[in-house]
Amino acid sequence: MISEVLKPNIQDLQKDVIDLLEQVSSLMNHASTALVSDSAGKKYAEFEQQVNQEIDKVRNLELRMAIVAPMKAGKSTITNAIIGQEILPSRNAAMTSKPKSFSLKSDR
């Protein structure tokens, strides 16, 4: 029961992050519009595009990260914990000695 209380609701977190990024995007749009005659306006427009790309990634539940550490440091264990399921083997002995790349798609 305690683990259920501590487990975050992915949909709620996703919505909160999207809402926050949309606010940032709106601020970048406002800045780029206000500074349209200035070179900074172009920079803010580029920032707005980058934020909008990140919004799309959050909507699609895309995550890309590098996990680098020495052998037997727990890379597979932390990857499995982040994803919430055992997709990589994890044991006391070294298991995954080569770089791994994988993609997970949302079930929705």
Predicted TM-score (pTM) of this structure: 0.59
pLDDT value of position 74:
86
The pLDDT > 70 percentage for the chain reads 76
Nearest to 70 by CA among 105, 96, 103: 96
pLDDT digits (tens, 9 = 90+) for 13-30: 899 999 999 999 999 999
- Mean pLDDT of all residues in 30-38: 88
For residue 36, what pLDDT is reported? Answer: 82
Question: Which value, to the nearest 10 degrees, does the dihedral of the CA atoms of residues 78, 51, 23, 32 take?
Answer: 160
Q: What is the pLDDT of residue 3?
A: 54
User: Mean pLDDT for the chain?
Assistant: 82
